[in-house]
Amino acid sequence: MNSEISFSMKEGSIFEILEGYQNGTTISKDKALDLLESNDILSLMNVAACLKTRFKKDIITYSRKIFINITNLCRDFCSYCTYRKNPFESSSIMMHPTEVLNLAKIGQIYHCTEALIVAGERPEDRYPEAKRWLRQLGYSSLVEYVIDISEKIVKETGLLPHSNLGNITEEEMKLLKTYNVSLGVMLESSSEKLLEKGMPHEFAPSKNPIKRIEVIKNAGRMKIPLTTGLLIGIGETKEELINDLFLLKSINNEYGNIQEIILQNFHPKKNTRMQDCPSPSYDYFLKIVSIARIIMPDMNIQIPPNLSPRTFSSFIDAGINDWGGISPVTIDHVNPEFLWPKIKELKCITESKHHRLRGRLPVYPEFIDKPDFISSDLRNYVENFIDLDGLVKEEYLVEFR
């Protein structure tokens, strides 16, 4: 059905929206924008929380991971980023395969299930040092290296790789899929104005939304579970933000491969061009998260708790059902100034909101039995970890102080 939900924030809108979803109706872009401009945050959150409970029950998930920062060299220059480094900087990283495997083995000791492989965008295209590093290791490209190391991680540790390498080709996706249970690429924003002079993506050609959207769609065509999301507060308008949520919904309606949407709140970083730009307000971000749930009631919606260290519990009330990857060992290399909460702390806070914290794999339960979404090479590794609900067996996730 395509009928539009009509509501007034003052006239029982919670029940109207919930009843609308019961009858198969949807919310329009205009109505979603009205919600974003409304001051009635509490009603909005109540709607989102009710929908979350209806579609996702009382569970909040997380993925216990080891963060493998294989290289922070990158061909792009984003105005808000402190992750990327130049080869001459002492903090630049180009990991040897032995280092990668040793780190993965530490993750195995700490009962992680995910090996998150993150790298800058095709550094070999910009830096001779990166090209030389890869050539010395026997690879012609960074993606080729990750394809090979993913297989080694699986076979030597049993951890399940999830790689986030930016814009990759269909052929590269096909090869990565053999030993990656899922892939990640952030849309961030579909606003082309962010590529203009003085804007955040002026010197980041891979952030061209046309290219990013094509990568997301290609993953759908390849039947690859994909994590994507939006970076809120980098210059997009309210209208563009609502459009992005509907865009991701539309792509998922067509291909059915978006496994989660991350909503990440921008934080200004020192020594960047955007160091004086404000973060989105707490209330504004709460509304965005709530609206995302209303637009996509059955989607897995995540906020990173380390980026809202004092307020992340509130987002349970706004309809999230996932905390993302949490590592008991490694830092968040993209946002090193923001520490992940301890898993025990996360459990206590989640339970204080009358929800249960459960571990998941880097592939969500609903994709595990979907035909052709997980390679046969990974099937046994996946099934070794999970219970009947497709979540990680409780006895595996032992706690570490």
pLDDT (tens digit per residue) in 211-256? 999 999 999 999 999 999 999 999 999 999 999 999 999 999 999 9
Residue 385: alpha-carbon gap to chain centroid: 21
Does any domain span residue 342?
no
Does any domain span residue 255?
yes
pTM over 0.75: yes
How far apart are alpha carbons 33 and 29 in whole angstroms?
A: 6
Categorize the per-residue pLDDT at 13 as very low, low, confident or very high, splitting at 50, 70 and 90: low
Task: Provide the percentage of residues in the chain whose pLDDT is more than 90.
Answer: 90
Does any domain span residue 129?
yes
Does any domain span residue 51?
no
Q: What SS3 string covers the chain?
A: CCCECCCCCCCCHHHHHHHHHHCCCECCHHHHHHHHHCCCHHHHHHHHHHHHHHHHCCEEEEEEEEEEEEECECCCECCCCCCCECCCCCCCCECCHHHHHHHHHHHHHCCCCEEEEEECCCHHHCCHHHHHHHHHHCCCCHHHHHHHHHHHHHHHHCCEEEEECCCCCHHHHHHHHCCCCEEECCCECCCHHHHCCCCCCCECHHHCHHHHHHHHHHHHHCCCCEEEEEEECCCCCHHHHHHHHHHHHHHHHHHCCEEEEEEEECCCCCCCCCCCCCCCCHHHHHHHHHHHHHHCCCCCEECCHHHCCCCHHHHHCCCCCEEEEECCCCCCCCCCCCCCCCHHHHHHHHHHCCCEEEECCCCCHHHHCCCCCCCHHHHHHHHHHECCCCCECCCCCCCCC
Give the model's pLDDT for residue 397.
85
Does any domain span residue 267?
yes
Q: Does the pLDDT value for residue 391 go beyond 60?
A: yes
Mean pLDDT of 119-146: 97
Q: Does the pLDDT value for residue 24 go beyond 80?
A: no
Give the model's pLDDT for residue 19.
64
Does any domain span residue 264?
yes
Task: Provide the percentage of residues in the chain whose pLDDT is more than 70.
Answer: 93
Give the domain extent around 275. Answer: 63-287+360-385
Does any domain span residue 344?
no
Residues 6 or more apart from 82 whose CB is under 8 A from it?
269, 270, 271, 272
Give the model's pLDDT for residue 109.
96
Give the model's pLDDT for residue 5.
40
Categorize the per-residue pLDDT at 7 as very low, low, confident or very high, splitting at 50, 70 and 90: very low
Categorize the per-residue pLDDT at 16 as very low, low, confident or very high, splitting at 50, 70 and 90: low
Give the model's pLDDT for residue 122.
97
Mean pLDDT of 157-173: 97
Angle ∠(379,384,390) on CA atoms, nearest 5: 80
Domain of residue 170, CATH code = 3.20.20.70
Give the model's pLDDT for residue 271.
93
Categorize the per-residue pLDDT at 3 as very low, low, confident or very high, splitting at 50, 70 and 90: very low
Q: How many CB atoms lie within 10 A of CB 388?
A: 7
Domain count, the chain: 1
Does any domain span residue 106?
yes
Categorize the per-residue pLDDT at 36 as very low, low, confident or very high, splitting at 50, 70 and 90: very high
Across the chain, mean pLDDT equals 93
How far apart are alpha carbons 148 and 163 in whole angstroms?
A: 12
